[in-house]
Structure formats: structure tokens, C-alpha cells
Amino acid sequence: MSLDKSKFESMQRDIQNELEKLKLEEETLFQDLGNMLNQRLFLDSKVKGLAKLLPTLKVVKHEAQDLVSTINDISESSEKISGKIRSLDAARSHVNECQQRVSDLIDLEICSQGVQTAILDSDYEKGAAHVHRFLSIDQSLLHRTATDMENLSGMQKSVRTLQDAASQLQAIVEHKFNEAVNCEDLVSIERFFKIFPLLGMHEEGIKALCTYLRTKVAATAEKNLKSAITTPLSDKRHSVIYADTLTLLFEGLARVVDTHQPLIETYYGPGRLLCAINILQKECDIQMKRVLTEWTRTRQINKKIQIITDLSRMSSSSSFSKLEKIDPKDLDILIGEITLMHFRTELYFRFIQRKVVSDLEVGVQDPDEKTKVLKSLENLIKNSDLTHSKHELLLHYLKLEQYFMEESVAKAVSMDSVEPSQQTSSMVDDTFFIVKKCIRRSISTGSLDGICAIINNACRVLENDFCDVLRARLRQGYPSGYLDLTQAYNVLQTSIQQGRLQASDTEQTRTAFLVALNNADSSTEYVDALCDSVLKEIEQALPAMNNNERGKLESCLSGLSSVTTNLKEIIEYGIQQLRVSAIKPRINPWVDNFTSINHQLTEDELSAYEAGESFVQTLIMNLETLLSLFKDVLTTANYDAFIAVLTTEVTQRLEKVIMKSSFNRLGGLVLDKEVRSLAGYITATTSWSVRDKFARLTQIATVLNLEQVAEFYDYWGDHDGALTWRLTPSEVRTIMALRSDFKVEEIKRLKL
């Protein structure tokens, strides 16, 4: 029953809904209808307007059809006209060709008549000019003309005459040129050189001239080498005489190229310089080799390299060495000479490149042809003996320079000395002077690979040889025990000056330790400065580095700058040594004194305490004495690091002894004051902020300085007066418990 009712109700609801929907639909329909009715007027007027336009459109259509037919007519007639023009063009080019053929024939006639006379008169220029005209006639056209012509034999005769004359002239010119060379007749040499290209003998001409020039270059080189060999030791160029000889060779060649290039360009056309340079390079290779052979012999290069190689093998296998070392100083000048020789060679290549490229720019337009010539220039350079010799020079240079660097640094280390009042010793200045000198010298070779190798080597020497010494000195440790450091320092100095070493081992070790620590610090600055200046100099010396080369250089330089990472580790190690042996043993008893002092003061006791020397005054005085020992003997950065470590030690120790004491209100008050003055003192000694290191201690003092437990809320929580706490809630409770006047239950009740 109730089911039926509910069914009925739901049906009723559905019907109701349907009705609502229909009503809504009806309403929308009404609205639409209304809208349409509204638009009717507007639409009516539009339709009327369109109806009026209709006749006009018909007229437009007619006119358009007329236009189309007119255009068709025009296009037809223009087609006809252009056809006529085309045939006119063809006719004109026929006429042109005809004229050309006729003028060729006339010239042919004139040339064949003139050439023999010219030869007989020894007027080779004129003869060659005739041949040149003949050669410039399109030979295939000549052939066609011959078949078209009736008077065939006359023309054939002319051609044959000219062909004969050409080969005759070719032979004569070659012969005359050689004759001129034999008599060193410069005017004739130039005269006949200019005739070669007229006869189509471009390559032969260049070859003949360059072969002649080779003999000149060879003769001069021979003379220069002889004079180099006989240069007396006393001559001030003696030490670089072979570099000078090479320079003369290159300069001579450059002059030859410079003087003959305009001649070649004018008479042979641009784009032919590479051909000449190719031939000259052969002589250059030969002469360079001769100079190098003589240089190797005179300077005993092989022997020196051998000794160096043997020495490096020895030192890696056994410390015992029977070989006499070479004093690096003795190599200095030789290395200078090699860099000069290498650089001159490099410059010569750059000269050739510049010349050929600019010749190419003028003469060759086709980009494919250009790349081809550039490729053959690259091959010419790559495969020349000069390149090989250059590599050999660089190899020698690198071996000698590496030895020079290693040995000089070793010497700087072994002759290390400290000037009085200096924080660092001589090995730092000396080592970086040497390293910089070597890198700069490598830059003067002009070879990026050479520069990179020396930078890598500098990195190795600094990281291994140099840092190892600093590390070893610090590893000796800083002997603890009471001492007057300044005194130790002075004693060491005077004894060194007086040639007797009296200072006790301890004092010496201490000084050595501190100096090593300072050396490490000052070396970091040297490394940074070195990287900066080297990069600048390289950019100046090699302005045309591409991205890849730059990447290579930067990678090597970043290796050098990362030497500072090693140095920083060394400094950290040294400072930790000082912490253990110089700071901790001294500071602990001073701070521990705190426990022997009464921190539960009456008003009277407070006045008495403040009248006398307080704990913190004594502590500061002691710290002052300790710091004064290190202030002047440590570099600024090291001294700051020293104070940082000292501060950590003092605050941590003080915290520890505070936790072992018990305070009343006045005791807390005194502590708070003392912590503040201690922090104030240390802040004044250093350039960095000590607030952070004192944070915990200051907060402990704040807790102990409370009037009552509940006052703590003034500092805790997230209101404006609250502090950022470094103490945990449980630490706060423990510290509060140090106040004998605070009730345990109250502390427990604190909501933290």
C-alpha cells in the first residue's frame, strides 16, 4: 500500500518535472519567435536592396567578358612579337660570331706574318704577344671556320706557322732564361720570366724562377750558417746565434716572396703564389735542417736530453744517482734560444698562410676551388720538413723546460730561507717566480700544445713537489709547551745570520711550522694571480684561438687553479695541529679556573669580586698574551683561522665548566657580563663576526641571568622579543637547574 503510494508520488514528481520543462521550452520558443518578428523589417529592406543591385551586376559581367577577350588578343600578338625578337637575337649572335671569326682570321693572318719577323729581330715580347693572341683564339671555333671556308690552305698555313713559332719561342725563352740565370743577368731574368705566361707556360715560368731563387736562398743560407759556426764565444749574440741564423733564413725567404709576389700576380695572374711557395719550401726545409743539425751538434742537445732522461729514470727507480746533474741555470739561455727558434718558425708559417690566403682572395672566386687550394696549403705545411723540425724543437723545449722547472723549484726549496720579520720564506716567491717564468716562456713559443703541456707540468710540480714540502713540514707538528715565540724566532734568525744554528730544535720546528702554514696561505694568492695573468698573456699571444682550443686551454688552466684546493687542505691540517698543540693545552687550565670560583654571591661578595681581578679579565689577559705570540707571525688569513679555532675551543670549554658550576641570581648576572666582555674582546681581535660562535654561550648566560623562571617566556616562543634558540628545551631546563635559587617544580612546569 505504502509502496504504491510512494510509486505514485514519484510518478507525480516526474510529471511535475516534465511540465516544468515544457513550460520552459514554450517560453524559449516564444522568445525566438519574438526575435524573428523583430528582425523581419530589417531583412525585408536588405532583400529590396539586393533586388536593385541585380541589373548593375549584369552590366559588370558583360564588361568583364569583353576585357577577357581583349587580353587574349594582346597576349597572342605579344607572343608573336617575342618570337620575332628571339629570331633577331639569334641573328645578332650569328653576326657577332661572324665578326669574331673574321677578326680572329685577320689576327691569325697578322700574327703569323709578324711572329717570324719578331723572332728574327729577337723581339721576343712581340713574338710572344702574337703567339698569345693565337692561343687566345677559341681553337674549336677556328676548326669550325676552317671547315666553312674555301681558302682552307691559307688559314691552315697560318695556324701551322704560329704553332711552330710557339714551340720555337718556348724553347728560346727557356734557353734564354737559363742563360740569364747563369750570367746573373737580373734584367734578362725578369724579362724572360714575363714572357713565359704569354706562351701559356705559367707553371714552367714559376718553376724556372723559383728554382733560380732557391739557389740564391741556398747561397745566402750557406754563408749565414758558416758565419754562425765561426761566431766567437765573446760575441754577444753567440748564445742565440742559431736562432739568429734561422731568423735570417726566414726573413730572406719572406723578402723573396714579398718582392716576387707582385711580379707573379701581374704577369701570371692571381692565385698562383702557392705554386711558387711550394718550390721555395723545399729549399727552406733543406736549409732549416742544416741549421738544426749544426745547432744540435754545437749545443750538445742530444747529450743534454739523454742526461735529463736518465736522471728522471733514476729518480723514479732509485734515490741514488751517480749522474752529474745539469744546473738548470745552465739551460736557461739554451731554452730561450729554442723558444725563439720555435716562434720564428711559427711566424714564418703564419706569413705563408697570410700571403697565400690573400692571393686567393684576389684571384679565386669559386668556393670549391678555394677550399681545394687551402687544403693543399694545409698539406704543404703539414708535410713539410719544417713542420717536423718545429715539432722536434718543441719536444726538446718541453723536455728541457720541464727539467728546468723541476730542478729550479727543488733548488728554491732546498735553499729556502726566512728573512727576519717576514711571515713567509723565500721558497714561495722563488717557486712562483720560476713557474711564472716557465709558463711565460712557453707562451713565447707560440704553440698552444706547448703552453698547455707546461701548465700541466706546473700543476704537477706545485701539487707534488711544492705542496709535499709544505705538508711534510706541517707533519712535523707544532711542539707544545710554554714558549715565547717571538724570542724563538729572533734566536733562529740571529743564529742563521751568524752562521751557527743554536736555536733549539723545538724553536726551529715551531718557526718552520708557522712559516710553512703562511707559505701555504700566500701560495693560494699566488696561484690565483698566476692563472689570471697567464690567461691574459695567452689571449694576447694567440688571439685567433677557436672554441676547441680555448676549451683545451681552459681545462688546463682550471687544473692549475685547483692547486688552491690542495693548499687549503694543507692550511686546514696545520690549523688543526695548532688547535691540538698550541691552543687546547694552554686554554683548558685558564678556562677551568672557572670552577674554582664562587658563583653564588652575596651583594658584598659581588662588590669585592668586581673590585678585584675577575675571571674574565684574567682569561682575556691570558688570551691576549697567547694571541700576541701569533698575531705578527701569522698571515692575516691564518691568524683569522687561528682565532676562529681558538674561539670555538674557549666557548666549548667554558660551556662545559659552566655546566659543572652552580649559580645564584648575582652569579648569573656576573656570568652574563663576563660572556659579553669576552665576546667583545674577541670581536675586536678579528675581522669576521664572532656572534655565531658565541651564540650558545650567550644564550646560556641569558638563561642563568633570569630574575625568575617564568621570565624565560619573555625570550621563548614566536613573539617579537623571542630569540632564535640554539639550546634545546631539555638543555634549557638543565641550565636552569644550575640556578640554586630556582625551584625544580617550577622548571618542570615550564611549557617549552
Partner 1 sequence: MDDYKFLFKVVLVGNAGVGKTCLVRRFTQGLFPPGQGATIGVDFMIKTVDVDNEKVKLQIWDTAGQERFRSITQSYYRSAHALILVYDISCQPTFDCLPDWLREIEEYASSKVLRVLVGNKIDREDREIPTHVGEEFAERHNMYFLETSAKEAENVEKLFMQIAEDLMKVSRFLCDN
Binding site for partner 1 (CB under 8 A): 316, 382, 388, 391-392, 394-395, 398-399, 402, 449-450, 452-454, 456-457, 459-460, 548, 551-552, 555, 559
**Residue 335 Cβ, how far from partner 1 at the closest point, in Å?**
13
Find, among 577, 563, 556, the residue nearest to 527 by Cα. 563
Residue 604 is inside which H or E element, if any? helix 603-611
Pick between residue 118 and residue 462 the one whose CB is nearest to partner 1. 462
Q: Which residue has the cell 701570371?
A: 268
Pick between residue 551 and residue 717 the one whose CB is nearest to partner 1. 551
Torsion over CA: 103, 109, 113, 118 (sign)? positive
Pick between residue 360 and residue 454 the one whose CB is nearest to partner 1. 454
Backbone angles phi, psi at 460, to 5 degrees: -65, -45
Pick between residue 238 and residue 289 the one whose CB is nearest to partner 1. 289
**Residue 353 Cβ, how far from partner 1 at the closest point, in Å?**
16
CB 721 within 8 A of CB 715: yes
**Residue 399 Cβ, how far from partner 1 at the closest point, in Å?**
6
At 663, is the secondary structure helix, strand, or coil? Answer: strand
Determine the residue type at 106.
I
Torsion over CA: 509, 515, 518, 519 (sign)? negative
Q: Which residue has the cell 691552543?
A: 583
Bridge partners of residue 739, in order along the sequence: 663
Pick between residue 392 and residue 429 the one whose CB is nearest to partner 1. 392
In the Cβ-directed half-sphere of 135, how many Cα atoms lie within 13 Å? Answer: 17
Determine the residue type at 257.
V
**Residue 349 Cβ, how far from partner 1 at the closest point, in Å?**
13
CB 108 within 8 A of CB 162: yes
Measured between alpha carbons, how far is 206 from 680 in angstroms, rounded to an integer? Answer: 89
**Residue 312 Cβ, how far from partner 1 at the closest point, in Å?**
8
Pick between residue 70 and residue 555 the one whose CB is nearest to partner 1. 555
Bridge partners of residue 663, in order along the sequence: 739
At 270, is the secondary structure helix, strand, or coil? Answer: coil
Task: Describe the chain by its helix, strand, coil percentages, rounded to 5.
Answer: 85, 0, 15
**Residue 378 Cβ, how far from partner 1 at the closest point, in Å?**
9
CB 131 within 8 A of CB 169: yes
Pick between residue 405 and residue 650 the one whose CB is nearest to partner 1. 405
**Residue 454 Cβ, how far from partner 1 at the closest point, in Å?**
8
Q: Which residue has the cell 743539425?
A: 293
**Residue 380 Cβ, how far from partner 1 at the closest point, in Å?**
13
**Residue 481 Cβ, how far from partner 1 at the closest point, in Å?**
36
Measured between alpha carbons, how far is 328 from 400 in angstroms, rounded to an integer? Answer: 9
Pick between residue 294 and residue 449 the one whose CB is nearest to partner 1. 449
Q: CA dist 581 to 429, 585, 588, 589, 653, Å?
A: 29, 6, 12, 14, 16
Pick between residue 562 and residue 600 the one whose CB is nearest to partner 1. 562
**Residue 502 Cβ, how far from partner 1 at the closest point, in Å?**
43
Measured between alpha carbons, how far is 493 from 251 in angstroms, rounded to an integer? Answer: 56
Pick between residue 374 and residue 496 the one whose CB is nearest to partner 1. 374
Sequence-separated (6 or more) residues with CB below 8 Å from residue 670: 599, 601, 606, 609, 610, 614
Pick between residue 316 and residue 724 the one whose CB is nearest to partner 1. 316
Pick between residue 399 and residue 440 the one whose CB is nearest to partner 1. 399
Q: Pull the grid cell for residue 238.
A: 753567440
Rounded to a whole number, what is the distance in angstroms from the first to the last CA of the chain? 69
Measured between alpha carbons, how far is 358 from 360 in angstroms, rounded to an integer? Answer: 5
